[in-house]
Structures are given as C-alpha cells and as structure tokens.
Structure 1
C-alpha cells in the first residue's frame, strides 16, 4: 500500500420525490443520531439513483459483480435524488430522519428486510416486512444495499473507516494483517474502543492485565471459520470482532487459554463495529457529487444493558 493514510479509492471530478414526502417532513422530529453531514452548494446538476450507483461502481475493483446482495431494496434507478443518507441499517428511525433531511436515497450496509439476501419471503407473510415496504413506498424512498462492493474497495471501506475512527491508520496495512500497536493492557484497549466508538459495554475473554500489541480486527460478522483461520495463521494477542457464533470462536479461544494459550477476545457488537465505515463513506462519496448533501445517520446498537 503506497500511502496507508490516503483515501483508499481515487476521487473523481463530477422529481421523483413525491408530494407525500414533502407533507411528511414536518411530522418527524430530528433525533440526535446525525454524526456527519457535508453540504456543497452547486445545485445546477441533478443525479438519478443509477447515476450515483454507476459513479460508485466505477471505483470498485471488479464491479459490477455477477452475484451480489447489493441490489435495490425499494424504489427505482430512475428516481431523481434529493439527498443521500448512509447508514448501517435502514431502520424506521433512520427512514424518518431521512425524510426530515429531504433525502430520498438511503445507502445501507446491512439488510433492510431481516435476512442476508433481503428475501421478503424468508418468513411467509412477514408483517414487519409488509409495514416497512409500505412506509418506503409511501415516502418515495429508494434503498440500496452497499455491502459487497464497499468491502471490495481497496482497502476495504469498512475496515479503513474503523481504523480512521480509532486513529490506527499509521498501523494499518491490510485487513488480513494484525496491527502492531504500542503495548497496552487488554483493559486499556477495551477502554479505547469504548471511548472512540461510543460503546457502553464490551464482552471480553482474557486477563484484563494482559499486555497486547498484535491486535487483529474483524468488524462485522466474518464467521467462525474465518476468525479461527486468522487466529491460527496470524497468532494475534487479541482478536477484536463485531459479532460471532458463541459456540464457535468464543469456545475456541476459551479452550485455547485453558491449554496455555494467551489470545484474548473483545466483542464489540455488529452495528457499532461497522458504523465507522459507513460514516467514512460520506467523506469518500461527497466530493464526487457536487450539489447533493450526503449525510451519515447512525442506526445505533439495538440492545440496551440492564
């Protein structure tokens, strides 16, 4: 990688928002989850959803893919875009905030309809799916999933955004390689993650006093096989994950420690671990779209602690 702190992909130089949307704008209070918004003033150019999708895909190696989950989940490609929201999940709350922002195009990293393929028949006659579809249709919102393509950026856009948020870019080489950080205790590493990522509580396996330097980071849900393969081949002091199958990687690490191993585990939570990558997407995308506002809305952790 020639410049580890540089933008991972080169930058480029570059009304169908139905009346019901405008009527709805005054009905929703703006909730305190907007973390990033950049506004440019050139309003002379308009973009369709397809224009924006094609602009993005030109910068993703190998795109378009023959098989991908990154398809439109609502709306259509011909719609004129009035504003863009990036987010992890297109939750009801995020949709309401997008309306308040006059943004009719949501780019979400994760599924809209509660399964990886967004199969609306995953559970037959799913009432929540039907209600969400009706809400998106009513307000003329187009949702595009941006998962496979953002991970395929060089380097991975989610991983890069995480490292940027943590101020770890000087140590970042690739998503396959552990970071070599100045030594710190597992407890202090956990505190850093909580503070930088805004996480209330973390789960760990390991000795809080253990010294950590080789830190492997796998935001999101990589699956037990990939997590254990990295542990076997890279031998990190600690593995930081978004989520895991508790009966796979967690038990692997627990047994390893009981047999004399030293590898620890920190579990962040899926949404909060990948959110920085979708926040970074604003910075990456906004300069390519003069005249449009691109805003990040945090979908947040669905869980609370009691």
Structure 2
C-alpha cells in the first residue's frame, strides 16, 4: 500500500478537521512510497526512528511535530538535532506524517476521549467535535484531584501535572 493511500483513508475519517488549515501533513518524505508496516507514536523520537530502521518500517505517523519548534533564534543544538534526524530519515527512506487534528478528536480512541477514560472521572460527552471534555462536582480538593490524576497517568510514563492556584479549593 502506498503512504498516500493510508493518508487518504485517515483524512476521509475526520469531518471535523479543517483541511485548509490543519497540522495534519507530511513533515518529511514521500507519499508515493510503498509500505507494509507503520509506526504510530506520540512523537517520532530518535529511538522511534531507530526502531523503524531496525524493523524495516518506512512510515511513521506522529501526533506531535518531531522536529521541535522553530524560531528566528533557533539554538544550535536544536538545529543540529533537526538536521541529524532529517539525515537519518532520508538515508533510510522514512516518511513522517503528522496526524494531530484528526487524532485529538477521533471519537473514543482519540487523545481527548482516551485521556478522559484514563483519568477515570465523570466527564460529560463532548459536543460538536470539541477538543474539550468537562467534569463537575468531583468532590475532591484540587490537590486530591492532582494526586488522583498523577496515579492514573503513571503507567504511561507521565511524571506529573502542574497546579496553578489554591490547592485546597473543593471542586
């Protein structure tokens, strides 16, 4: 199957994605490459790319941009890391597609719904393909809720959360 066929299938499923203004696109490589294996990941790190090379995988679907944020004063180390990653991808004919806007809101399996399920709080259903899920009356202080969330995210190698405001407030 060609990479373009996979991308077309993905893009046919996301009526909520504004295709004229989306982050979902090929970030590196060629959409005409024939593939029989695909990696999906949160971000295509060097470890993910090395895994692809070792397993003869030529298509990576990454949720986040694996090339870091560019700016007018891009630090030398970031620029060097970008170029090294691009050289590795080119040398091994690997294409990276960023699937962000579709993946965030994909019903049940997307980031929004997966996190809502993982956090095990009474979230309301989402409306109109919103990026948000809400919960009310959780009967915990902010600090208790933070500890609840940290315990739920530990299995996913998440280290913690940031609290801004009064930790003793009840919600």
Preserved contact between residue 108 and residue 114 of structure 2 (Cα < 8 Å): no
Preserved contact between residue 43 and residue 62 of structure 2 (Cα < 8 Å): yes
In our comparison, the structure showing a higher alpha carbon Rg is 1
Q: RCO (CA 8 Å, sep 6+): is it higher in 1 or 2?
A: 1
Question: Counterpart of 1:221?
Answer: none
> Unpaired runs of 5+ in structure 1?
1-46, 213-306
Structure 2 CA distance for partners of 1:171 and 1:69, relative to 1, 3 Å: closer
Equivalent residue for 2:32, pick from 63, 73, 78: 78
Is 1:67 aligned to 2:21, yes or no? yes
Which is richer in strand? Answer: 1
In structure 1, distance between residues paired with 2:67 and 2:61: 14
Is 1:184 aligned to 2:140, yes or no? yes
Equivalent residue for 1:173, pick from 105, 122, 125: 125
- CA deviation string 1:221-263 (max 9, x = no partner): xxxxxxxxxxxxxxxxxxxxxxxxxxxxxxxxxxxxxxxxxxx
Question: Counterpart of 2:85?
Answer: 132
Preserved contact between residue 75 and residue 141 of structure 1 (Cα < 8 Å): yes
The count of aligned residue pairs is 162
In structure 1, distance between residues paired with 2:133 and 2:113: 13
> Unpaired runs of 5+ in structure 2?
none
Which aligned pairs between 1:96-135 and structure 2 lie closer than 5 A? Answer: 96-115=50-69, 123=74, 126-135=79-88
Kindly state the Cα deviation for residue 49 of structure 1 after the two structures are TM-superposed: 0.9
In structure 1, distance between residues paired with 2:159 and 2:133: 28
SS in 1 for 2:27: strand
Preserved contact between residue 112 and residue 133 of structure 2 (Cα < 8 Å): no
- CA deviation string 1:68-112 (max 9, x = no partner): 232212221121223222222211122112334443211111112
Kindly state the Cα deviation for residue 145 of structure 1 after the two structures are TM-superposed: 0.6
Structure 2 CA distance for partners of 1:123 and 1:185, relative to 1, 3 Å: closer
Equivalent residue for 2:111, pick from 158, 163, 172: 158
Report the TM-score, using the length of structure 2 for normalisation.
Answer: 0.77
Is 1:203 aligned to 2:162, yes or no? yes
Q: What's the C-alpha RMSD, in Å, of the aligned pairs?
A: 3.0
In structure 1, distance between residues paired with 2:18 and 2:132: 24
